[in-house]
Structure 1
Amino acid sequence: MKHSFYIICIFFIFILHCYGIDNYNNFQESYVEIRCGKLKDGFFPIRYDEENEEVYIGLKTLFYFLELYDVDVDLESLNISYNVFGENKKIKLKSHESFIDDDELYVSTKVLKDKFKFKNINFDFSMLGLGIVPDFILPYEERERSKIERLRLEAKKELEKKKDFIEMPKRFITPGFIKLFYNSYDFNKKGDLSYEFGNQFLYGSLYLQGRFERRNIVEYGNLTYNNIVADNDLVLGNIYLDVPRFINTDSNILGFTFSNNRTYYFKEGSFTVIKGEAEGAETIELYSGSFLLDYIHPTGKNFEFKISDGNMSDYYILKIYYSNGVIEERKVFSINDLNILERGKNKVNIQFGKGTKNGYLQSNFNILHGVTNNITLGVGNRILTSEKGRRYSFIENDILLNTRHKIFPTVIELKNYHEITHKENNYNLNIIQKYKEWQLNLTYETYSKYIFYENGVKNYKSVSLGKNFKNNYLEVGVNKETLYRLGINKNIYTYWSTYKLAPIYFSLKLEKSLENISNRYAIYPTISYYGYFSTVVEGKFVKENNSRWTNSYNLKIRKRNVQLIKDKLYGDIGLFFKYYSDRHTYTYGVDFNIKLDDFIYARVNSNVTKRENGKSDTGNGIEINKIFALKKPSLKLDNNSSVTSSVIYGNIFLDKNSNGVYDEGDLPLENGIVIIDGMKFKSDKQGRYIASGISSPRTIELEIDRKSIDPMIKATFKKLKIRTESSGQLRVDIPLDIISIVSGNIYNGLKLPENKFSRKLALINIQLIKDNTIVSEIKPEFDGLYFFEDVFPGKYKIKFSYLGPEKYKFSTKEIDVNIDTSGKESGDYFEGYDTELITGEVK
């Protein structure tokens, strides 16, 4: 009985192999949308076996859709041969794997995937969509690669020719911008009048800052040449000095720097310190992942964060809100402000100058080189003088290793500072070892006599182990510090953070001294929220020896862009509270800023401070600023703008003669909206717009908001790319032109049945050409109708192509079209550009 069953099964399989698919006449003929990468056809024919829920695809039609025209399908032998970039492929099908209908060979999606090397084929029955992913390079992909390479080599010439890339010119000197500030920290006292000035000078960007009441009217200033070599900037004047943290020196020097560093990271014991520069920043927020750690309102160009967060972050995110509305995000990596360099990449930092406070000469020279994608080596020389007048001369050597292992990655940073004069070595070693959710951190620092005689630290050692689990992070660590003359200081700490209540973030750090002398306890809780408003609550509780606990609190709440008057007046409102138990003092207050149209910007703060003697002081302050373009002081500028930002202005107009120039007869457009990097600027009655506060130097995109203009007109460009320059100005007129629709029909000159003719239409390509350039490319609808939308005035040519294997032609292969909308204020419908699909000679 068992053998009989096997015989029946084998016979059944044999029958299937011999007779193939014999019920295909019952399959439904459907048209679906097919996608393959950037290729798309909304009218692709398939056959559908409803009983077995199987889709069958015609091979000839598919290969033509994929633009593989060198294909041969032998319907008798069921052999298929095709060529993919010089590689010949041959497939032999069996009768049960396919069927033939209307001179087309159909196979199921399973056979297509298994035999023709497709990574994935997916059919969405609900949306009637077919998605395919081949395991070989398609012609369009090769064209894209060639196109990218060609654009890379000829980018400047090609882009300037198309007028879709504009460089804001660099000038020897420009009038620039000046921003005047009035600051009064107490209404009962005289306020300060200060300024910021920015312009282009000697083809660079000049920035000056100072106060009018002082003898030295310039307190801070520099001249910057951006991206002078690769991504490095050359800055002359006041600069921030990058120094090892064990050297205490004036970090603000007068000199020059050549680098691209704008942020610096280092550890101070168990605390993390992040410093940097952000000129024109109103608020800076510090995140670990998506959770707010702290935020500040910098009063100048430089900023600093000091946080207690264990070693949970590989990197931090700085979210910088500039006064002009631009938002910048910076990543600050936890090792030397960088990830390991890629192979062949270099990073340079050259600095030289003298301290602004003490006049001591300082210099840095460091270069990092990516030897491999995993190893970066560095060498440098530092000649520094501390604030106590002690001179240091170092040769610095750096080794950075990142194994980049997916499961067990290791990151090592070793720095050696060799003090040349005294021939002493100092070492800083950081090791991060991860395994899945675990992270081990090791730090070892040792300093020579010449160093620790001043900074007081002989060596520092720490080890910590952390683990992520269920939206929590827990870390335990121990550190030991050997101090000059003060002995040994040991501490143990536990750090826990959770974002289980996101967007609320909570962290708690417990610290205890292991030395009986101090017997110190410390607790650092933090709660933050980022959403409708920003909130940070920080606490500090300390107990030393047998004394009482001392505590301090810091609460900050801020809401950005509060609508004070609908669609007209917005402002930021902030509340703060600070309390110190050891001094029995507290401070609370409110601050807010508002922008009064284009007239003025004001920031008001009020606070109350209770002192140790029980008396309370009230302070009310105000800051008012106004920015002017010195070339045209009456120009309406956004007072939130920085003096180093740029201005783009021009006219939005209906280009009646289609020459792209604003001239006589053209109609200005009121309330047209120009979008630049997400910011919107509206045109006035004369069609004029002014976009101030554009972040510079960088490449921005300018476009017109289609919702703000008539649907039958359109800008003659999609987006303009503009390279801005600091304190630069550029006129960009935006011509709008009438758009029309061009349509026609492709008729059935072959006299084929309607269903068969529809399949031929799927193999037709139609191009709209102007000045030998393809403007648009489409396929006809299932009934032969085709149409081009958004066609500007001008002379065009419509060209028809049949991509199938048959020798079909068109009664008219090319048709000339003249879109003339003279004297009209709206587009038109141009129709009747018809042709026939036929056999034989072309007329």
Structure 2
Amino acid sequence: MKKITTILFLLLSSLTFASNLGGTKLAYDGVEFFISDEEERIGAYTLELKGIPYSYTYTVIKEGDEYFFPLFEFIRAVGVENYKYDRGVLTIFFNANEDKRVIDLRKLDESSYIFEDNDYFICEKLFKEYFFQEFRIDKENFTIKTNPNFILPKEMKYILDNKTRELKEELNKEILLYKGERELFDIGNLRINLEKEMIKSSDGGGRKYDWSGSLEYSGSLLFGNFITEYDLKEKKFKDFELNYYGIKEDYELSIGVYGEDREKQLTFRKDRGYSLNDGREYIIEERVPVGSKVELIYGLFPIDVQDEVGGKVTFVNSLIKSGREFILKIYEPNGKIWEKLVKINEDYNQQKKGEFGYDISIREDKESKRNKADLNIYYGYTDNLTMGFSWNQYPEEYERGWTYIKEMGTELIYSNSIDGNPYTLSYEYTRGINKDEFETESLKGKYKHRYFLDTDIKNFGITYEQFDNGRYYEEKREIYIDVDYDLTENITLTGSLEDTKYHEKDRDDETDYYYGLEFSKSWNSLLASYEIENNKKGETRHSLDFYYTGFKDFTVRLENTLDEDNKYEGELKINNTRWMDNLDFSMGMRYSEDKRAEYMVEFTLKFDNWLEFGSSAEKNGDKRTYVGIDRVISLKNPLQNMNSLENTTIKTIAFLDRNDNNKIDKDEEKLSDVEVSLGEKKVVTDEDGEAYIYGIPSYTDYEITALSRRPSHDGKATKIKVRGMGSSEVKAYIPIKPLITFMGEVKFDKDQSILSDTRIKLNKISTKETGKIIPVESNGEFYIDSLTAGKYMIEVEYLGEDYNIKRYKRQIDLTYTDENAGDNYYLFELEEVKK
């Protein structure tokens, strides 16, 4: 009845629109469209997608031999909720917004669609092109049969539900985390770095040869990670350092001997992955495996590429600013690729409620025979308020000798927001507290008041900092103001003011300022960044950078700078990320007007993470060519390439976990023929149940998967993660679960035939995984396989109506022993409950 009513309505509508005889060209919402003269052109069709009807009254207009199909009615019929229409442009989102269709009706030919009944009817050709892999009209039965080229909303819901269920089951699995064992002493890794170079000068000096070489060692010592380096050419040791990583969240404790004077130093601070240089410029620094190439990615664009130097990469780029997120994409020499997120967030040493933060450094000064100390402790009084304490001392030389300058300070940091606009307030007071052993006037009045404000108000970012200083300092008052205004998503206006007043009355106040503009915009594979800055003196600085990623295996960076003295400097850099498995190269060209070098061309080639060749040439004829070896080996197994000094070895021990407690017990044997995988690396345990995985980066969690080649074993029942702590070995015990069988018989003496209406439900008590439900055979037998040992709750339930049978529920213990070989047999007898 509903279908007939709809058809009558559509017929009446067709008669109404048929009154526009002669054809009419109209405009609506900026889109021109055409209405035809023909009558009896509207029909109601059944719309099928993948054989399932989604609408029985889908409107179709026929104009001559052409069919037109309504867009908005199609969206409603399919069940799409996320779409938008704006001034003739319809955007439809599928697959959790990852797939979309954009239909710009303003750009379509006017005969390819019709606007009617507040809907856009597009022609069959476009309808197929936008939405379907297969499309057929059954004109006799008024049916449209289709196979869409997008994921239907109903299907997406099923997919998301399944993923959610799988994720819950995965999260409920117990996670075993094995860390590198801190040992009193253990042999570690050795890096061999040798380089021979030839320099040919343009001044007729001929060829000159030179060489350099070093040995770097990393190994366990005193339950920490010991690192040192020996210069083969100079025949002397460099720094000695003992590191304890991760002893408190992201904190590092380092004890070392540094420099030619062999000064001892202790530091304890949080590793953020970035630091602030000269108060304004941020530097990203990260430890990576030796031989790695690292991309710095901002907004999906690689803006810089660096090769590892000394186990680290360092990025300095004008785009690195507070409030931005960057991704370090790390290409290891062994082919492994992984990413790390770096958030440039000035947290001003804020702590959560009840949390302590530390930044401590103590170093001896051989010249003065005294110690330098900088101690800062922060405590979160509430989630918004942090209190800080500081102690600082350092030696200073006077005419009569050395004295200690000592300072003590307190700080209050408060953060909150008003109407969604965040702000941070800080007050800090420091004062010199040492006794003046030389009775010099200069040490009097040694104090500072610091006031600080940082806030974001809509599109404005404002930072205000003020120092009021005692007479010990030359400056009486210092004020620093920075303002950023986001004019658009791509354009930011910047400004800065510095104002300084002095204690000396005859010294004039100093004021400086600058203002500028930052612009960044991406077009497909090209990112452009432009900055202009002008200061009080009228000096202007320009910076224009381009980043291109359109090539499959290469990134191109072009940087251009025109400084305050109108001196131009430019650099073109081409890097491959992973052109060939064992071959890596980069090349570049530099031009510097200020350094009087018209251009320089550089070329570097690395082979298989041990052989390196490079060359550079200048226009004036100077050339440099070198060949080198850079290799890290495990001293326990010198044939293994460790990629990095701080890479670790994973020793895997597979065992038969008979009682499912994830621990190796005395009666549980080690298993051979178990395949253990970590990323691309795969090893198989030997007859002692052991296998080694070499060259795994430290301080990152990696997941291990295990697969026993015996069908009666399950190695995936437990999630296993490993974390290297330097070059120390990680011992990972891998529980392999023997698969057991639960079988038996259900009896009901009164009427055995009812057992076909009986089911068994089994839930493992130690986990939250969904239990198994199986029917009982008509003869009362049941069989459940692929279980693991442990305590289970079993329910036997009769679902029929012939008898009132009590639900049987009890706890049982399913075991694996040499005697039963995993077969567990039980007999259950049902009881009738009398009414």
TM-score (norm 1): 0.62
Is the 8 Å Cα contact of residues 272 and 309 (structure 1) preserved in structure 2?
no
1:790 maps onto 2:786 in alignment: yes
Deviation of 1:433 after TM superposition, in Å, equals 2.0
Query: Paired residue for 2:283, among 274, 296, 300?
Result: 274
* Residues 191 and 399 of structure 1, relative CA distance in 2, 3 Å threshold: same
State the Cα deviation string for residues 341-372 of structure 1 (Å, max 9, x = none).
11111101221113689987421011111122
C-alpha displacement at 1:616, in angstroms?
Answer: 2.2
1:148-227 map, 5 Å: 164-166=176-178, 168-186=180-198, 189-217=209-237, 219-227=238-246
Task: Give the distance between the partners of 1:251 and 1:289, measured in 2 at CA.
Answer: 45
Matched, 1:505 2:522: no
Distance in 2 between the 1:584 and 1:593 partners?
A: 30
Q: List per-residue Cα deviations over 1:226-250 (Å, max 9, x = no partner).
A: 444676443211589xxxxxxxxx9
Among 604, 608, 615, the residue aligned to 2:617: 608
Unaligned runs of 5+ in 1: 1-123, 133-143, 152-158, 241-249, 564-568
The superposition leaves residues 432-473 of structure 1 with CA deviations (integer Å, 9 ceiling, x where unpaired) of 3223344333344566675569xxx9845333132264x424
Determine if the alignment matches structure 1 residue 728 to structure 2 residue 731: no
Q: What residue is the counterpart of 1:800 in the other structure?
A: 795
After TM superposition, the structure 1 stretch with the greater mean CA deviation from structure 2, 425-434 or 207-216, is: 425-434
Determine whether 1:476 maps to 2:499: no
* Partner Cα separation in structure 1 for residue 691 and residue 304 of structure 2: 38
Query: How many pairs are equivalent?
Result: 641
Q: Which residue of 1 aligns with 2:268?
A: 258
- Cα distance change, pair 744–227 in 1 and its aligned pair in 2 (3 A): same
**Match of 2:53?**
none
Structure 2 residue aligned with 1:809: 806
Once the 2 structures are TM-superposed, how far is the Cα of residue 523 of structure 1 from its aligned partner? Answer: 0.5
Distance 1:463-1:570 versus aligned 2 partners, 3 A rule? same
Distance 1:815 1:363, change over 3 A: closer
| Deviation string, structure 1 residues 357-394 (Cα, Å, up to 9, x no partner) | 99874210111111221122212022236899997543
Matches within 5 A, 1:218-617: 219-228=238-247, 232-238=251-257, 254-261=264-271, 263=273, 265-266=275-276, 268=278, 271-274=280-283, 276=285, 278=287, 280=289, 282-283=292-293, 285-286=295-296, 290-300=300-310, 304-309=314-319, 313=323, 325=336, 327=338, 329=340, 331-335=342-346, 338=349, 340-354=350-364, 361-384=371-394, 393-405=406-418, 407-420=420-433, 421-426=443-448, 429-444=451-466, 459=478, 461-467=480-486, 469=488, 471-480=489-498, 482=500, 488=510, 490-501=512-523, 504-515=526-537, 519-529=538-548, 533-544=554-565, 549-563=566-580, 569-585=581-597, 586-595=599-608, 601-610=610-619, 615-617=620-622
Deviations 1:530-566 (A, max 9, x none): 685444332211244xxxx321112333222333xxx
The correspondence for 1:623, drawn from 613, 625, 628, is 628
Identity of aligned residues (%): 17
Give CA-to-partner distance per residue, 1:759-803, whole Å, 9 cap, x none: x85xx632468xx999983223699998645336x7997832559
Matches of 1:379 and 1:555 in 2, distance apart? 48
1:514 is aligned with what amino acid? Answer: K
Query: CA, structure 1 residues 128+351, in 2 after alignment: closer, same or farther (shift >3 Å)?
Result: closer
Q: CA contact under 8 A between 1:318 and 1:330: conserved in structure 2? A: yes
In 2, Cα distance between equivalents of 1:787 and 1:406: 63
CA distance in 1, matches of 2:312, 2:702: 25
Distance 1:475 1:398 in 2: 32
Q: After the TM superposition, which of the residue ranges 776-785 and 344-353 deviates more from structure 2?
A: 776-785
Residue pair 2:288, 2:697 contacting (<8 A) in 1 also: no
Displacement of 1:580 in angstroms is 0.5
The residue number in structure 1 matching 2:719 is: 719
Contact 1:403 1:409 in 2 (8 A): yes
1:329 alignment partner AA: K
Q: Name the amino acid aligned to 2:682.
A: F
Change over 3 Å in CA distance of 1:811–1:350 after alignment to 2:
closer
Equivalent residue of 1:573, what SS? strand
Residue identity in the other structure for 2:546? I
Residue equivalent to 1:79: none
- Does the 8 Å CA contact 1:492/1:514 hold for their aligned counterparts? yes
- For 2:747 and 2:154, the matched residues in 1 are separated by 31
Q: Say whether 1:669 aligns with 2:673.
A: yes
Aligned residue type for 2:529? S
- Per-residue deviation at 1:660? 7.2
Measure the CA separation in 2 of the matches of 1:667 and 1:646: 23
Contact 2:352 2:383 in 1 (8 A): yes
Which amino acid in the other structure matches residue 626 of structure 1?
A: R
SS of match in other structure, 1:637:
strand
Q: 1:729 to 1:774 in 2, by over 3 A?
A: same
Name the counterpart of 1:244: none
Pair 209,337 (structure 1): closer, same or farther in 2 beyond 3 Å? farther
Indicate the SS of the match to 1:604: strand
| Contact map agreement 1:656 1:667 (CA 8 A) in 2 | no
2:96 is matched with none
Q: Secondary structure at the match of 2:727?
A: coil
Amino acid at match of 2:270: N
- The structural deviation recorded for 1:412 is 3.1
Equivalent residue for 2:771? 777
Q: Is the 8 A contact 1:645 1:694 kept in 2?
A: yes
Contact 2:466–2:477 (Cα < 8 Å) also in 1:
no
Instruction: After superposition, give the CA deviation of every residue in 1:115-137 in whole Å (9 maximum; x if it has no partner).
Output: xxxxxxxxx977997999xxxxx
SS of corresponding position for 1:640:
coil
Q: Structure 1: how far apart are the matches of 2:525 and 2:254? A: 40
**Residue 113 of structure 1 corresponds to which residue in structure 2?**
none
Evaluate the alpha carbon distance shift between residue 603 and residue 412 of structure 1 in structure 2; reply closer, same or farther with a 3 A threshold.
farther
Residues in 2 aligned to 1:552 and 1:175: alpha-carbon distance in whole angstroms:
48
Q: CA deviation at 1:753?
A: 13
SS in 2 for 1:191: strand
What code does the residue aligned with 2:625 have? N
Q: Normalising by structure 2, report the TM-score.
A: 0.62
Structure 1 residues 427, 638: closer, same or farther in 2, change over 3 A? farther
Q: Distance in 2 between matches of 1:274 and 1:679?
A: 32
**Distance 1:267-1:479 versus aligned 2 partners, 3 A rule:** farther
* Separation of aligned partners in 1, 2:311 and 2:568: 32
> Equivalent residue of 1:691, what SS?
strand
Aligned equivalents of 2:694, 2:282: Cα separation in 1:
34
Shift of 1:700: 4.6
